[in-house]
Structure 1
Amino acid sequence: MASWTFVYVLRETGSGSPRTYVGWSTDVEARLAAHNSGKGAKFTRGRQWEVVYMERFRTFGQAMSREWYLKRDRKLRKQLVASVSL
Structure 2
Amino acid sequence: MIYYVYMLLNYESKRKVSYVGYTSNLKKRIILHNSSKGAKFTKGGKWMLIYKKKYLNKSDALKNEYKLKKNSLLRKKFKDKFIKKILLK
- What TM-score range do you get, normalising by the shorter chain? over 0.9
Separation (CA, whole Å) in 2 of partners of 1:21 and 1:14? 14
1:66 corresponds to: 64
| TM-score, with length taken from structure 1 | 0.92
Tell me how large the CA RMSD over aligned residues is: 0.9
Alignment of 1:34-45 (within 5 A): 34-45=32-43
Separation (CA, whole Å) in 2 of partners of 1:15 and 1:40? 17
1:33 corresponds to: 31
Instruction: Report the secondary structure of 2:7's partner residue.
Output: strand
Query: What is the aligned residue count?
Result: 84
Given the alignment of the two structures, is residue 14 of structure 1 paired with residue 12 of structure 2, yes or no? yes
**Structure 2 unaligned spans of 5+:** none
| TM-score, with length taken from structure 2 | 0.89
2:22 corresponds to: 24
